[in-house]
Amino acid sequence: MYEMGVVYRNITRADGDVARKLGALGTATVHEAQGRTGLLKPYMRPIYAGAQVSGTAVTVLLHPGDNWMLHVVAEHIRPGDIVIAAVTADCTDGYFGELLATSFKARGAAGLVIDAGVRDVRVLTEMKFPVWCKAISAKGTVKASLGSVNIPVVCAGALVTPGDIVVADDDGVVVVPAASAQKTLETAAAREASEGEKRAKLAAGVLGLDMYNMREPLQKAGLKYID
Amino acid sequence: MYEMGVVYRNITRADGDVARKLGALGTATVHEAQGRTGLLKPYMRPIYAGAQVSGTAVTVLLHPGDNWMLHVVAEHIRPGDIVIAAVTADCTDGYFGELLATSFKARGAAGLVIDAGVRDVRVLTEMKFPVWCKAISAKGTVKASLGSVNIPVVCAGALVTPGDIVVADDDGVVVVPAASAQKTLETAAAREASEGEKRAKLAAGVLGLDMYNMREPLQKAGLKYID
Amino acid sequence: MYEMGVVYRNITRADGDVARKLGALGTATVHEAQGRTGLLKPYMRPIYAGAQVSGTAVTVLLHPGDNWMLHVVAEHIRPGDIVIAAVTADCTDGYFGELLATSFKARGAAGLVIDAGVRDVRVLTEMKFPVWCKAISAKGTVKASLGSVNIPVVCAGALVTPGDIVVADDDGVVVVPAASAQKTLETAAAREASEGEKRAKLAAGVLGLDMYNMREPLQKAGLKYID
Amino acid sequence: MYEMGVVYRNITRADGDVARKLGALGTATVHEAQGRTGLLKPYMRPIYAGAQVSGTAVTVLLHPGDNWMLHVVAEHIRPGDIVIAAVTADCTDGYFGELLATSFKARGAAGLVIDAGVRDVRVLTEMKFPVWCKAISAKGTVKASLGSVNIPVVCAGALVTPGDIVVADDDGVVVVPAASAQKTLETAAAREASEGEKRAKLAAGVLGLDMYNMREPLQKAGLKYID
Amino acid sequence: MYEMGVVYRNITRADGDVARKLGALGTATVHEAQGRTGLLKPYMRPIYAGAQVSGTAVTVLLHPGDNWMLHVVAEHIRPGDIVIAAVTADCTDGYFGELLATSFKARGAAGLVIDAGVRDVRVLTEMKFPVWCKAISAKGTVKASLGSVNIPVVCAGALVTPGDIVVADDDGVVVVPAASAQKTLETAAAREASEGEKRAKLAAGVLGLDMYNMREPLQKAGLKYID
Amino acid sequence: MYEMGVVYRNITRADGDVARKLGALGTATVHEAQGRTGLLKPYMRPIYAGAQVSGTAVTVLLHPGDNWMLHVVAEHIRPGDIVIAAVTADCTDGYFGELLATSFKARGAAGLVIDAGVRDVRVLTEMKFPVWCKAISAKGTVKASLGSVNIPVVCAGALVTPGDIVVADDDGVVVVPAASAQKTLETAAAREASEGEKRAKLAAGVLGLDMYNMREPLQKAGLKYID
């Protein structure tokens, strides 16, 4: 399925400004705005609370227990990119730590999303380098097998194409295809705009039942109240 | 097993004062006081460290990927209630976020225990609205299927009857049946009272072996010391 | 496999000074220094962020749902020891809480590593008593079956012999056999010494590809760049 | 939550004839007939393919690693009963093997449903004694702690009251409350009766889209066909 | 990420003859032949031992607990197709049983691969309708939400494009992109051809060490023999 | 913890006759006979029902995704040996298939126990080569990193020393240290001898309660009967 041993040097990145605006809206709103799709599996968690970032995807495909390609991908990071790392089989090893974070940061990376483990999490937290991963492990890796850079990858159950927009926060990680990013932003912003008014009503004690006009459909569906 | 599509409007809540006192004693003590029963599965975790609450249960039964009934249950929350949400099949979707939390809080809910996922956890944490759940996920839900409100439900392996007392903290969630709440409180309080003295002895270097007179039973059981 | 019902009173502890120095280097460095071995499974997590400790192992073998032997092992703790608790079958019960922590601390224990659950985590955190475990659970345990103290045990997939050095931090838990501790320390220290320079280079924008001379081996392995 | 250390000698069993008929309809049909409720978690699997049974529930509550109460419950089995065994905490130990199966069979038990492990599965298979469980494990258990017999229990996420009907086959285990068993049987039988005709139509190439008149609702919901 | 509510009626299927030949070679050989990629996660298991099939993919995207689109996809099955069903969130419900299998079979489907649960497995086995899935569950589903048919989907971690070749047997499920199917077949066939001779040598007692000339590279890598 | 890159050519094997006799008694009896220890985690399952074997352990330590050392260990197999394969981190890849099985069988191996995945399970089943493993996966492995042969390893949670006796059947895998094998055999045989009489009594309807004289200790423990 995957093309192996190749590095695509030129990719078309989605608009960084759209990425920033989607990031401000957050994963839940963006995920809803694109029809409840694009979310990575919920086992992907930030290494520290409050981590929040958005940017353009550069992708890398790794082998289990082998982080060689993380050094290869570093060269192709541009400011504002988020590295999306997929692995060809389930693995919890610690592929990424302080040194690679230092290098990624120097290249301008905004964060890392890796379907595997990382280490040096105390230092990464101090560096404020945000990482979403499925495990934390001191287990190191070898540098022996070729994967690929900037091919489309499946990361934690979601397809990520290089240049896509990635939004990540405490609620998880969402991928927004470059082609539909502008439209998703508009839908998400509209959704967000309507939330303030709703929040105020609900805070005042208005019920969602009334605000969303649910009483009639509930009755039609057959809901019975028993005193 | 479950009665579907019904909302019981009138439930008998356990004494709120007993709920408060049990909350002060904490889940571990309460759980021991009722014969080591009533604990929800340990995969139920608070969304922020230090969350601690007790109250009376209002229950809701949900379908996978469908949070319609959370709007229905909101109407039946009274100040001091904790909403206990069960799902008919395993699901990690984010059923509950900022808007529902605003509504629940306005109704006086003390917290939420849900055998599924929630989202907007950064905002929920800022609101200090405590939630115990099995997943965090930006994945939204539909509003299509009827469940029930205030029927007995199995939540994370424990039977919860509406009106029961719920105690939740960093160690998990315990259910105390309304009928035995007073007796459980007395046992728990007595247990707690004896702990201060024990703590002092242990802090002074006395061994549990001596304080609990374990040396003889250990010897009888055949424990051998080898130098 | 295990000798049951025995307590070895005299064990030979590794050098406490070596333990301290290994602790300062951290689990990732120590794990690499001994050939990427000795790591406990990554499901072992600290109960609070920033927990960090090293010391000499005293071991205890427990049965599922039974913490009797934790009282037995307490008597054999010396200042600087870390208690390593293994269980004969998978169990998430809360074997250890405030009272035992008070006792262990009074005996000089530096921490606990247990392949099971603990409780009272808020209090343990306030006490700054570091624990690595696989679950948090209010579920208590009985005191009915004999295990053993200071026999070699398999804890979370790693063999721990009494007196071995244990290093634990946010990245996990590593065991260093007493016999090879001095050598591992030297290798780890050398590794650490070289990291400062590397970090500086990477921070300045030098690529790992160049710093580690990876371009040639990557080319030999067949990596293709596509523009 | 659970009453501990009690054995209820007299329970009211649902009609054995209804149990037999529900068994013939199978778990999927019965589960649908009671509004898609009553199913135990799908991790409960038969120890051999083709196992299929129905009967009336006698319940037993066990502690982790302790099978004492299985000997107590044996005395209360009547011909046609299925033993439903719940455990107070997750445990995979092998609670049940050849000897207990011989005893249960002699008492007339139709099968066992246990939210834990069993052993001697080759012999149990030869005996054609059907068991649904969550693990197979040679690990034995102790006989030290009291549980209860014939109290309502939560088994694999479902509430089972003594005397309820249990239907189990390759697709899982469903509980039917005694009170609604007759009505569930009627609904299930009607459902089954309509399936033969549907099967014939579908086998002849008629589409579910047409047989169930789904084309219009799909169009209303907005489904678009693209050539 | 996914286009929702659309059905692509015209897809280009890979050559059925190539699919048949790849099927005869088996998943392990095919997976190796395309550079160890294209394998679905190993939790995907056949519902009966010996299931073995290959064909062209028609894809369907489902929502958790909702099998409506399985009726929609049925219309687009052609003889020799394998239905690949993905779900937008983790779900173990039984989406597929006897009736749908009857319909799929009547349409000429060669099998089903579904990242969720199925039911009626005894009947499906008797029908010899092969299914690979992640769970078996009597739990039924609703028909309420639109997904899509014949869009690219991520199923159990692998990207499947409509028309791709799918090979499935006891070892799992592999996807072969239509574009590279012929080349993968050649590589796989060559690999297979060389295996007979190897098998004969190994059966005669020749060691892989010698047959693959591994002794020198092992020595270079530093392997030490100790008597 | 592990010595890496070494092969111990000379190991002392336990008595093959004792291994055969322990095998005939089965894992459950042997496990009980050595104080309920020595069992590998219950996730280790045979690839076909009815697999049953015993023999002497030769051990091999592997890296994730790398099966090079399986070729190295093959040279050290003697008739009656069982290969015990441990991995330095969790991995489900298919390390072992038809070719290696052919080689192992030619060397006289009685079976394989591997804490990872295998493939070609249909062929292995036809060959009647018994394997216990934690996954089945077509995913192949590389040959790049050195592990070790015939060092003590932790496999699925149990310590295995080269030359130990391994007993495996449908209930799991048990390790018996060479030093205590004769004593364990005697205890196990005595246990087995007493089972026939017990079985006959239980089959005749005698209760375990009476046969084991449990009524008095149950009463002492406080069990209450309620009519």
Question: 3-state DSSP call for residue D195?
Answer: helix
Q: Which residues on chain E are in Cβ contact (under 8 Å) with F50?
A: none
Q: Which residues on chain E are in Cβ contact (under 8 Å) with B66?
A: 65
Q: Which amino acid is at B131?
A: V
Q: What is the pLDDT of residues F161-189, one digit of tens each?
A: 999 999 999 999 999 999 999 999 999 99
Q: Which residues on chain B are in Cβ contact (under 8 Å) with A171?
A: 94, 119-122, 136-138
Helix axes B16-25, B181-203, angle to 10 degrees: 20
Looking at the predicted structure, is the pLDDT value of residue A123 above 70?
yes
Q: Please choose, from the candidates F60, F26, F36, F20, the residue with its C-alpha nearest in 3D space to the C-alpha of residue F146.
A: F60
Q: What is the pTM of this model?
A: 0.96
Q: Which residues on chain E are in Cβ contact (under 8 Å) with A36?
A: 88
Q: Which residue of E has its CA nearest to D50?
A: E122
Residue F132 near residue F51 (C-beta atoms within 8 A): yes
Residue range D115-127: mean pLDDT, rounded: 97
Q: What is the pLDDT of residues B176-223, one digit of tens each?
A: 999 999 999 999 999 999 898 999 999 999 999 999 999 999 999 999
CA distance F210 to chain D (A): 10
In the structure, do chain D and chain A come into contact, i.e. share 3 or more CB pairs under 8 Å?
no
Q: Which residues on chain D are in Cβ contact (under 8 Å) with E83?
A: none
Q: Which amino acid is at B125?
A: T
Phi first, then psi: give them for residue B6, nearest 5 degrees. Answer: -125, 150
With a cut of 50, which residues of chain C have pLDDT below it? none
- Put simply, the answer to whether A140 touches C31 (Cβ < 8 Å) is yes
Q: Which residue of A has its CA nearest to E1?
A: A38
The residues near B218 (Cβ < 8 Å, ≥ 6 apart) are: B209, C68, C72, C146
Supply the pLDDT for residue C1.
Answer: 65
Size of interface B-C (CB pairs under 8 A): 108
Q: Which residue of D has its CA nearest to B181?
A: D1
Torsion, Cα C126 C132 C136 C137, to 10 degrees, reads -100
- Put simply, the answer to whether D159 touches B159 (Cβ < 8 Å) is yes
Q: What is the pLDDT of residues C10-37, one digit of tens each?
A: 999 999 999 999 999 999 999 999 988 9
CA distance E106 to chain A (A): 31
Residue range A78-98: mean pLDDT, rounded: 96
Place F2 in a pLDDT band, splitting at 50, 70 and 90.
Answer: confident
Q: Which residues on chain C are in Cβ contact (under 8 Å) with F154?
A: 154, 157-159
Exposed/middle/buried for residue F126 (C-beta within 10 Å: 0-12, 13-18, 19+): exposed
User: By the CB < 8 Å criterion, does B94 face chain A?
Assistant: yes
Query: Strand pairing partners for D154?
Result: D159
Q: Which residues on chain F are in Cβ contact (under 8 Å) with C41?
A: 90
Supply the pLDDT for residue A1.
Answer: 65
Size of interface A-C (CB pairs under 8 A): 108
Q: Which residue has the tokens 């969602």?
A: A208
- Put simply, the answer to whether D195 touches E99 (Cβ < 8 Å) is yes
Q: How does pLDDT run along chain E (227 residues), one tens digit per residue?
A: 688 999 999 999 999 999 999 999 999 999 999 988 999 999 999 999 999 999 999 999 999 999 999 999 999 999 999 999 999 999 999 999 999 999 999 999 999 999 999 999 999 999 999 999 999 999 999 998 999 999 999 999 999 999 999 999 999 999 999 999 999 999 999 999 989 899 999 999 999 999 999 999 999 999 999 99
Q: By percentage, how much of chain D surpasses pLDDT 70?
A: 100
Q: How big is the CA angle at C52 (ends C50 and C54), to the nearest 5 degrees?
A: 175
Neighbours of chain B (3+ CB pairs under 8 A): A, C, D, E
- Put simply, the answer to whether F169 touches D122 (Cβ < 8 Å) is yes
Looking at the predicted structure, is the pLDDT value of residue B2 above 90?
no
Strands A111-118 and A153-155: unpaired
Residues 9-68 of E with CB under 8 A from B: 63-66
Supply the pLDDT for residue A27.
Answer: 98
Q: Which residues on chain A are in Cβ contact (under 8 Å) with E89?
A: 39
Residue range A29-55: mean pLDDT, rounded: 96
Query: Strand pairing partners for D153?
Result: D160
Q: Which residue of E has its CA nearest to B140?
A: E89
Strands D6-8 and F224-226: parallel
Question: 3-state DSSP call for residue C162?
Answer: coil
User: By the CB < 8 Å criterion, does E169 face chain F?
Assistant: yes
* C-alpha distance from residue A202 to each of A205, A206, C227, D186 (Å): 5, 5, 54, 44
CA distance F159 to chain C (A): 7
Q: Please choose, from the candidates D38, D171, D33, D167, the residue with its C-alpha nearest in 3D space to the C-alpha of residue D110.
A: D167
Rounded Cα distance between A13 and E71, Å, is 39
Rounded Cα distance between D119 and B191, Å, is 39
The residues near C94 (Cβ < 8 Å, ≥ 6 apart) are: B28, B171, C117, C118, C119, C120, C135, C136, C137, C138, C139, C140, C141
Q: How many residues does chain B have?
A: 227
* C-alpha distance from residue D214 to each of A172, A212, B142, E104, E118 (Å): 36, 27, 20, 17, 22
Q: Which helix (H) or strand (E) holds C211?
A: helix C208-211
Neighbours of chain D (3+ CB pairs under 8 A): B, C, E, F
Q: Is the dihedral of CA E2, E8, E10, E16 positive or negative?
A: positive
Q: How many residues does chain E have?
A: 227
Supply the pLDDT for residue A35.
Answer: 87
Supply the pLDDT for residue C2.
Answer: 87
CA distance C63 to chain D (A): 8
The residues near B173 (Cβ < 8 Å, ≥ 6 apart) are: B27, B39, B40, B44, B113, B132, B156, B158, B166, B167
- Put simply, the answer to whether C93 touches D64 (Cβ < 8 Å) is yes
Burial A83-106 (b: 16+ CB within 10 A, else e): bbbbbbbbbbbbbbbbbbbbbbbb
Residue A59 near residue A151 (C-beta atoms within 8 A): yes
Q: Which residues on chain D are in Cβ contact (under 8 Å) with E72?
A: 209, 214, 218, 223
- Put simply, the answer to whether B154 touches D152 (Cβ < 8 Å) is no
Place B119 in a pLDDT band, splitting at 50, 70 and 90.
Answer: very high
Closest residue to F226, CB basis, from D9, D102, D138: D9
Residue C45 near residue C37 (C-beta atoms within 8 A): no
Q: Which amino acid is at D36?
A: R
Closest residue to D170, CB basis, from E107, E121, E146: E121
Q: Which residues on chain B are in Cβ contact (under 8 Å) with D158?
A: 1, 154
Q: Which amino acid is at F74?
A: A
Q: Which residue of E has its CA nearest to D210?
A: E71
Q: What is the pLDDT of residues F131-161, one digit of tens each?
A: 999 999 999 999 989 999 999 999 999 999 9
3-state class percentages of chain A: helix first, strand second, coil last, to nearest 5? 35, 25, 40
Q: Which residues on chain F are in Cβ contact (under 8 Å) with C152?
A: 159
ipTM of the complex: 0.94
Residue C198 near residue A99 (C-beta atoms within 8 A): yes
Q: What is the pLDDT of residues F197-224, one digit of tens each?
A: 999 999 999 999 999 999 999 999 999 9
Residue F8 near residue F149 (C-beta atoms within 8 A): yes
- Put simply, the answer to whether B172 touches C136 (Cβ < 8 Å) is yes
Residue D68 near residue D149 (C-beta atoms within 8 A): no
What does C37-87 look like in DSSP terms, one character per residue? --BPPTT-EESSTT--EEEEEEEEEEBTTB-HHHHHHHTT--TTEEEEEEE
